[in-house]
Structure 1
């Protein structure tokens, strides 16, 4: 009889331990890595989502595969690279994230084996649950090659014999594409939209850290005749108008996706960041996405 009671207690304790472990796994804070081509790309495309993730306790890392050393009309390449590096350090402070810049030349990024191994290393070392990158049909060759490098790494991050010195992942991350400048005609509707209305000014403040781009280079290369404001408050409003609200506008194809994820709260969604699921990573259902994006359930 004592032996039976003992066995029952062992079984009960085992079940309790399994439940605790399951809860621990479920409650583990997720890790997100945004891999883009240039310093500022991550903030412009996913800054609001990263802020929301960070508030949920997620760990965020932004990566630029080039040093951005040609992203200005004045100064030497080295001066530009140093300035842009310093801007990302300010982003780290403002957004509470990690930031890494690879030393590839701006405008010369190649989708080669060396860079593929670097991307695999980045994803593995971060132990990423979510990987975000450019769409493959974007306007800049560095963007397109970044997207291809991440796509090529999506399966290989799980293969132990590939880059064996860095431990392979045991579960595939969810891979996502940001919204690019052009609509994907094969898939005009995003899979996921995130409401960044509550953090739109915070996103503008993070983008403001990239002064060399927002107030100098981008107006010059885009032939903009708009006057850059003088005061900090006016600058934030300028970024909000030109970079956050315009890029976050809800398009006709977005509306049903907003309603899908936000339900009765959809009417309050005014500004979004949109994402497309990359088929080469983790296969997910709606419940999986809601678990990875808890803001949909709030």
Structure 2
């Protein structure tokens, strides 16, 4: 049976997280005719030792919009200060509005055991906001409630794959160059990762995709774990 068009949402903490962990899968959804929304929760404004935060936020948003345009994806830019994500009431309201705007059938976000607190708390905010997105009387929201029905949540891989055991894979071999083109848009991130962390970002992503491909039986793959919880279960596969 042919799959109906779906709304696909990836909620990530920082500019470039989407490209590192999920862009190949989003590219496959986009090519299949589904609507893709990328939500970046922080501005990445603390991620450089030299560039002032306000200037860096502007740079990071511009780079993220360039990357999203490659997919034709909609971008939601929340603009929270980098390194300042917390699972509090104010930020939950922001996350509820993000989920309402995207009205997702599928949500990708960070794993609970990720290495970075911003990542972990974004994932928690997605979990905590899941039901509120469809409840019309939540106070102080900017957007009306969306569908209350099921939206399947998938947790993305951890950087380096550390402590993460995928339960489902997506073969991204045919769209791997798109993933890398999107990542290359994040020029300030590539430079900062090299200078601050002595990390070749493009090389790291290629190695991890190849490693996940070994587990998936293909050249390049992205790995995920499905969140199995009440009203979020499926009897069929919806990953591409």
Question: TM above 0.5, one fold?
Answer: yes
User: How many Å separate the matches in 1 of 2:98 and 2:228?
Assistant: 20
CA apart distance, 1:27: 4.8
> In structure 1, which of residues 136, 143, 146 is the aligned counterpart of residue 122 of structure 2?
146
Name the counterpart of 1:38.
Answer: 14
Name the counterpart of 1:235.
Answer: none
TM-score when normalising by structure 1: 0.73
Name the counterpart of 2:144.
Answer: 166
Name the counterpart of 2:156.
Answer: 178
Q: Does 1:282 align with 2:229?
A: no
Q: Where does 1:108-257 land on structure 2 (aligned, <5 Å)?
A: 108-163=84-139, 166-181=144-159, 182-184=161-163, 189-214=165-190, 216-224=191-199, 239=202, 242-250=203-211, 255=215
Task: Give secondary structure in 2 for the equivalent of 1:250.
Answer: helix
User: How many Å separate the matches in 2 of 1:175 and 1:27?
Assistant: 18
Gaps of 5+ in 1: 1-22, 227-237, 259-265
Task: Give secondary structure in 2 for the equivalent of 1:48.
Answer: helix
User: How many Å separate the matches in 2 of 1:189 and 1:223?
Assistant: 26
CA apart distance, 1:271: 1.1
User: How many Å separate the matches in 1 of 2:73 and 2:149?
Assistant: 23
Name the counterpart of 1:102.
Answer: 78
Task: Give secondary structure in 2 for the equivalent of 1:131.
Answer: strand
TM-score when normalising by structure 2: 0.90
Contact 1:34 1:61 survives alignment (8 Å): yes
User: How many Å separate the matches in 2 of 1:244 and 1:161?
Assistant: 42
User: How many Å separate the matches in 2 of 1:175 and 1:208?
Assistant: 27
Q: Cα deviation per residue 1:11-48 (whole Å; 9 max; x = unaligned)?
A: xxxxxxxxxxxx9xx75311111111111111111010
CA apart distance, 1:248: 1.1
User: How many Å separate the matches in 2 of 1:100 and 1:159?
Assistant: 21
Q: Which has the higher contact order (CA 8 A, sep 6+)?
A: 2
Higher mean alpha-carbon deviation, 142-151 vs 161-170, is at: 161-170
CA apart distance, 1:155: 2.9
Contact 1:200 1:271 survives alignment (8 Å): yes
Sort the Cα spacing of 1:88 and 1:56 in 2 relative to 1 into closer, same or farther, 3 A. Answer: same
User: How many Å separate the matches in 1 of 2:132 and 2:71?
Assistant: 30
Contact 1:158 1:172 survives alignment (8 Å): no
User: How many Å separate the matches in 2 of 1:155 and 1:278?
Assistant: 14
User: How many Å separate the matches in 1 of 2:78 and 2:101?
Assistant: 15
Aligned length: 236
**Runs of 4+ more than 6 Å apart:** none
Task: Give secondary structure in 2 for the equivalent of 1:75.
Answer: coil
Gaps of 5+ in 2: none
Select the structure that is richer in helix. 1
CA apart distance, 1:138: 0.9
CA apart distance, 1:251: 5.3
